[in-house]
Structure 1
Amino acid sequence: MTQVGTEITRVMVTDLKRTQIVMYAGASGDYNPLHTDEPYATKIAGNPTVMAHGMITMGLAGRVLTDWFGHENILRYRARFKAPVWPGDTITVTAKVTGLAEVDGARHAELTLSAVNAVGAEVLSGTATARVPDGAAG
């Protein structure tokens, strides 16, 4: 049963590949050279390498929500990008129920999300509201 304080932590990607970043660029149409052009990312922008799109991280974090509650039950999802995600990063996401309410006869959960890299640096923080389906485990 989903209750206040219920928490789920999942490793969503291990060793993020450059190929995954380029595939996301193709799927999203976001070909910003910070994500796709190594010489631009390093020489012009001063980064150590290309960086992942923020929306890759947001999508990975959101998958914890959809796995838990189902796509159709995610009512709101907001995120703040806090640090870059680089090729080779491992991203672990924690979602936690912070409140429960009855809205129009349906049970809703308020959640916080946090995504961290392998060294524990938070790369994304967020909040969400989800309709709690009957029998949703936590």
Structure 2
Amino acid sequence: MSEVATGDELPPLRARVTRADLVRYAGASLDFNPIHYSDRIATEVGLPGVIAHGMLTMGLAGRVVSEWIGDAGRVLSCTSRFTRPVVVPDDDHGAVIEFSGTVTAVDDGVATVSITAKCEGKPVLGKARATVRVD
């Protein structure tokens, strides 16, 4: 990897999430909350429909960083706040989340990356940041 500098932009990542992905993630994470598979339950609790697991969305945000750096082992931390749920329709297309990132600081071989995550043009993560070893 070439020299990393403040202001560098990471290659964007578009991730499609379908209901089938939610089933696989539920099995892997053991998070079987019905808001992730039942429209009836999701709407009963005030959601617009079935939503993606927040940690799945955050994991995908981490992927934009690990693909850029080329080694997931260099990612030291990844944090965010969940600001809007990702509604996953019951169709073959699912939801598309668009991720981007910008290096906001480089200090002593560690880069801080600000991550943006949007679904349908609206932010779904807030204060998303990762720190990455770049030396």
Alignment of 1:1-138 (within 5 A): 1-14=3-16, 16-42=17-43, 44-69=44-69, 70-87=71-88, 88-102=94-108, 107-118=109-120, 120-125=121-126, 126-133=128-135
1:51, distance to aligned residue in structure 2 (A): 0.5
Aligned length: 126
Shift of 1:2: 1.6
Q: Which runs of 5+ in 2 are unaligned?
A: 89-93
Alpha-carbon shift at residue 121 of structure 1 (Å):
0.5
**Tell me, which stretches of 5 or more residues in structure 1 are unaligned?**
134-138
RMSD: 1.4
> What TM-score does the superposition give when structure 2 sets the normalisation length?
0.86
Matched letter for residue 91 of structure 1? I
The structure with more radius of gyration:
1
- Percentage of pairs with the same residue: 39
Letter in 2 for 1:41: A
Q: Deviations over 1:62-108 (max 9, x none)?
A: 00111122111111111111100011321111111011111xxxx11
